[in-house]
Amino acid sequence: VIAMSLHSQLLKWIKKNAETHLELLCKFLALPSVTCEKQTAKQCASWLGTLMQQYGIETKVFEAQGNPILVGEKIIGQNKPTVLFYGHYDVQPAEPLEDWVSPPFSPDIRDNRVFARGAADDKGQILSCLLALRALDDLSVRPLANVKFLFEGEEEEGSPHLAEFVEEHRQYLKADFAIAVDGNRHYSDKPTLIFGVRGGLWVELSINTSQREFHVSYEDVVPNAAEEVTRIISSLTASNGLVTLPGFYDDIIPPSQTEQRWLEDLRFDSNVLASESGRQDAAQIDTVEFYRKMMFSPTLTVTGVSAGYVGSGTKAAIPTRGMIKVDIRLAPNQDPDKILESLNKHLGDVCPEASLKLISKLPPSRTNVELTSVKQFICTFVEIMGNDVILIPSFGGSGPHYVFLDILKVPFVWMPLAWSDCKAHGANENLSVTSFQQGIEIVATLLTSLGIEKLHKDVPNIDPRP
Ligand SMILES: [Zn+2]
């Protein structure tokens, strides 16, 4: 009898258990673990912890300051490398509920997709990982690496307690390589790896001009909060579109040769952008420049403004209060505190009456893609998925990347298992059943391919993607 290859055994196992896996996913999705719903989030964490224990993963549920944090491990041997998987069990609020075809916390399977809040972001992806370990167990295959899991319950609110937790449990979480199973693939839906995030700085600028509303006839002598708001906003950008804050573009590091090559390989769907954004000349956008700016340059975006009367009819009074919401994204190596200071000083110069409130901040972070272990990981991924993988130097958005890179000091890569049309954060979020099953296949195959020689062997001149 010829032994079936591991891969075909795996596919057979996934197919044989497909219905059970979907039932399990639906149970997970029916627990409404919206980040701010502490009680249901806790129930969800305990459900997940029990499942991990059942799968032979030694699991601890830490009652942290916020929602519980789960840490699990399956140790194969002390001389084996260790891979840490990161994900989150909390979900975004589901409102507005009337936009959903089926209720967000009553999972519904149709068109070969599971519709529910959290299906793609991130419960389905977490479950793919756990089932991969389960598969290897069932097939009596030992992974080549020790496996650890870190699942948090506050990712959707910016992971406020993750850094502190990882700092405290650094020894326990020690790993050679860390992978986030979160986010979604490039729009082409080809297998995607992402190596960094931009930093974020979220602030509120508010202004309170007069103690009472004056009649508009006082226009020449009384300050107008609505006009101050527009003056502040226009002071933030020059006519060439560049941000005027002193030092805003300092400390930026350009893409490395490898990153530049990846940028040049990235495709971009200008038709979709043209139709969805109303920008008719989208085809003229220089793709490489667009991606370079999105990943390697900072931005300042006014995301909300309020001032004065905007109800029906008119109101003949001078506005007294105004507010501006600002979202700043920072390139790797930039310091959020330095930019915050610059903004504060600028505000003092332009409008001393205005005040600044910091909502939250997150440092930028990018994994060094020249590291041998990172190149080896890419090679293994390419071996498994084929040459057609998409390598993205950085997200344009932000995430807790620095927690792994700077605190845990482990190379960190995002390996999204969900497809691009999963509608994460929106109504009718869904996970394609095929991507769910493929997730199990990818993680299981990875765990049987990532040997110690792969993660540590010195291969200085390897080209990750020939
Ligand atoms: Zn997520």
**Residue pLDDT, tens place only, 269-327:** 888 888 888 888 888 889 999 999 999 999 999 999 999 999 999 999 999 999 999 99
Q: What is the mean pLDDT of the segment spanning 330-338? A: 95
pLDDT at position 466 is 41
- CB burial of 229-253 (b: ≥16 within 10 Å; e: otherwise) equals beebeeebeeeeeebebeebeebee
Is residue 53 within 8 A of residue 178, CB to CB? The reply is no
CA of 302 to the centre of ligand 1 (A): 24
CA of 137 to the centre of ligand 1 (A): 27
pLDDT at residue 453 above 70?
no
Cα separation of 144 and 379, whole Å?
Answer: 16
Q: What is the mean pLDDT of the segment spanning 241-245? A: 96
CA of 103 to the centre of ligand 1 (A): 20
pLDDT at residue 133 above 60?
yes
Instruction: Give the rounded percent of residues in the chain with a pLDDT score beyond 90.
Output: 83
CA of 122 to the centre of ligand 1 (A): 5
CA of 183 to the centre of ligand 1 (A): 5
CA of 195 to the centre of ligand 1 (A): 16
Region of 295 (left: φ > 0; alpha: ψ -120 to 50; beta: rest) is alpha
pLDDT at residue 192 above 80?
yes
pLDDT at position 284 is 87
N-term to C-term CA, the chain: 38
CA of 197 to the centre of ligand 1 (A): 13
CA of 94 to the centre of ligand 1 (A): 14
Instruction: Give the rounded percent of residues in the chain with a pLDDT score beyond 70.
Output: 96
CA of 398 to the centre of ligand 1 (A): 11
How big is the chain, counted in residues?
466
CA of 153 to the centre of ligand 1 (A): 10
CA of 2 to the centre of ligand 1 (A): 42
CA of 210 to the centre of ligand 1 (A): 43
**Residue pLDDT, tens place only, 395-448:** 999 999 999 999 999 999 999 999 999 999 999 999 999 999 999 999 999 999
CA of 216 to the centre of ligand 1 (A): 49
pLDDT at position 458 is 45
Which pLDDT band holds residue 1 (cuts at 50, 70, 90)?
A: very low
| 4 vs 178, higher pLDDT | 178
pLDDT at residue 459 above 60?
no
CA of 184 to the centre of ligand 1 (A): 9
Q: What is the mean pLDDT of the segment spanning 193-210? A: 95
CA of 182 to the centre of ligand 1 (A): 5
**Residue pLDDT, tens place only, 2-43:** 556 889 999 999 999 999 999 999 999 999 999 999 999 999
CA of 463 to the centre of ligand 1 (A): 30
CA of 399 to the centre of ligand 1 (A): 9
What contacts 87, CB < 8 A, 6 or more positions away?
122, 125, 126, 129, 149, 150, 151, 180, 181, 182
Average pLDDT, rounded, for the chain: 93
pLDDT at position 314 is 96
pLDDT at residue 460 above 70?
no
Cα separation of 398 and 152, whole Å?
Answer: 17
